[in-house]
Amino acid sequence: MLGRNIWFATIFGIASLLVLRKVNAEPASRGLLVVANQKEHTVLVVDPDERRELAKVVVGVNGHEVMVSKDGRFAYVPIYGNSGVGRPGTDGSTIDVIDLQESKLAATIDLGKPLRPHRAEWGPDGMLYVTAELGNAVDVIDPSTRKIVAEIPTGQKESHMLVISPDGRRAYTANVGAGSISVLDVAKRSLIATIPVAKMVQRISISPDGKRVFTHDQDAPRIAVIDTTTNKMANWIEVPSSVYASEPTPDGRWLVTLDRNSHAYVIDLESMKVDQILKISGGASEILIRPGGDVAYLSGTGAGKIDVLDLHTWELQKPIELTPGVDGMSWLAVGAK
């Protein structure tokens, strides 16, 4: 099939290109971006080095986020619905499964009721953990049976984004309208604590050592820093404008952030101060740091671009030109096992 031919040609083409350029990189740093486009209702496979779209698969209305399986075969797209957080609209109740080798929809997981599923993360047990906003919970899905096997209560409304600690023991959700963070025990599948932060928060990230969680006050220009040992607020990081998303660099030294008004702030996590201010594409929504830690990708939902930030020089490179609606991103490693 054409999808399969594109897949293998791309993998071998990238591998050959890297050899010719004598790039000494770990295998995990070579790969493709898998991108959810919520306005087109599609999932895109993008070559970030050649800056071109390789494949497009239609999904439900709307998929905001995407997560690639560990073996690189499938992408999971929670179908959220046609509205924003806390706004009226359709209430998604499914997760679309994309076969990345065949470039087609492979299956649809029925969650049984309207939940507005949003962010998916892989747990240490091989299960897929997905935020279920309308259920005030995180659903646990077995990818082999494609069924819900458990539900972890967050105790808060609008549990929108999710991170899992590096050791796999804890999960943390950003509860948008509740303005809080829920701390979950992954093994026991239970709620441990609720941390009040602000009137409204957006998105969440965790340090590589698992000691700090970051979320973003939407009514004031500041980032909350949570101490995961005490499950309490540690301090605030002041920023020029309200931040929407963040992601720490793999060495734990920097926090790359973005707002919705064309700015990215790079924060020094030693001084807890803004070190760099960059002009990026409008309506940016998500950050993905490429394995290897040399590049950050910043999706611009409004502009239809993915900005490319060099994490060594802090310079923006040529963006990846796509179409408006690009949102969540996941990394597909070449040679994934």
- Tell me, what's the pLDDT at 157? 97
Residue 11 has pLDDT above 90, yes or no: no
Instruction: Report the SS3 class of residue 18.
Output: helix
Of the pLDDT bands very low, low, confident and very high (cuts 50, 70, 90), residue 335 is low
The pLDDT of 318-327, averaged and rounded, is 97
- Tell me, what's the pLDDT at 97? 98
- Tell me, what's the pLDDT at 14? 37
The pLDDT of 245-252, averaged and rounded, is 98
DSSP-derived pairing of the beta strands 263-268 and 273-279: antiparallel
Residue 273 has pLDDT above 60, yes or no: yes
Residue 8 has pLDDT above 70, yes or no: no
- Tell me, what's the pLDDT at 126? 97
- Tell me, what's the pLDDT at 30? 86
The pLDDT of 201-223, averaged and rounded, is 98
Residue 26 has pLDDT above 60, yes or no: no
Contact 218, 198 (CB under 8 A): yes
Q: Which CATH number fits domain 2-333: 2.130.10.10, 1.20.950.20, 3.30.930.10, 2.30.30.110?
A: 2.130.10.10
Question: Using one digit for the tens of pLDDT, what is the confidence trace for 229-243?
Answer: 999 999 999 999 999
Residue 62, preceding bond cis, omega within 30 degrees?
Answer: yes
- Tell me, what's the pLDDT at 119? 98
Q: How far apart are CA 99 and CA 92, in angstroms?
A: 21
For the chain, domain boundaries: 2-333
